[in-house]
Structure 1
Amino acid sequence: MSNIARDSEIVELTDTPLFDYGDKVRANRTIRNDGTYVGKEIGEVLVKKGELGYVVSIGTFLQQFYIYGVEFLDSGYRVGMKGKELDLVRRSHEGEGPSLPGAASR
């Protein structure tokens, strides 16, 4: 049990989230279903590298990471992703973006 590999020893929750509601982001890797996306097979591609989306929710996982709910435009999927899996394209307050529920800037 002592050989459990952690994704990171850093606890992100001590800092503010990298992204905000309504931010336009790009997936910097392909994301496959790990079994938590209902209705899709394990291993099925949910998000392709380079796909664009908007942050629609911000949660946490394991009291360590922020998880960003991202609504992707091409696939139409809403997928939870870690900050390291996303690149910022445009901040929500910089204009151009859909009118999303709860997309008010903090």
Structure 2
Amino acid sequence: MGLGREQIVEIFDDPVYMPGAKVVSLKHIRNDGTYPLKDIGEIIVRKGDVGYVRDIGTFLQQFYIYAVEWVERGTIVGMRGKELKPYEPLTPQKGATP
């Protein structure tokens, strides 16, 4: 019987995002003290920001960490796959004029 803390080991599967993938943040990310030149608690990525996966690493031999470059913010932040979604460009509605 487990302790209820078991989590899926992501690295048994392929990464969700590959380098170059365009992604959107699903949540605000605040500096926990590991990001230099920013105050602790300062928002470094906002929900809805668009960025590009630069690299993929692992954490605790369980999780993928995606190094995402947030071009408009001039930052690179490591994020979990569950904090991201694929970018989907807006498509015009049928019959809409540009």
TM-score normalised to structure 2 length: 0.81
Aligned length: 86
Distance 1:20 1:62 in 2: 20
State the identity %.
55
2:32 corresponds to which letter in structure 1? D
Distance 1:34 1:10 in 2: 24
Q: List per-residue Cα deviations over 1:28-73 (Å, max 9, x = no partner).
A: 1000011111111111100000000000010001111100000012
Structure 2 residue runs of 5 or longer lacking an equivalent are 89-98
In the alignment, is residue 57 of structure 1 matched against residue 55 of structure 2? yes
Secondary structure of the residue that 1:21 maps to in structure 2?
Answer: coil
Structure 1 residue runs of 5 or longer lacking an equivalent are 91-106
- Give structure 1 regions of 4+ aligned residues with deviation exceeding 4 angstroms: none
Distance 1:60 1:79 in 2: 14
In structure 2, the partner of 1:87 is 85
RMSD: 1.7
The equivalent position to 2:25 in structure 1, one of 4, 15, 27, is: 27
1:13 corresponds to which letter in structure 2? I
TM-score normalised to structure 1 length: 0.75
Q: Considering Cα pairs closer than 8 Å and 6+ residues apart, tell me whether 1 or 2 has the greater RCO.
A: 1
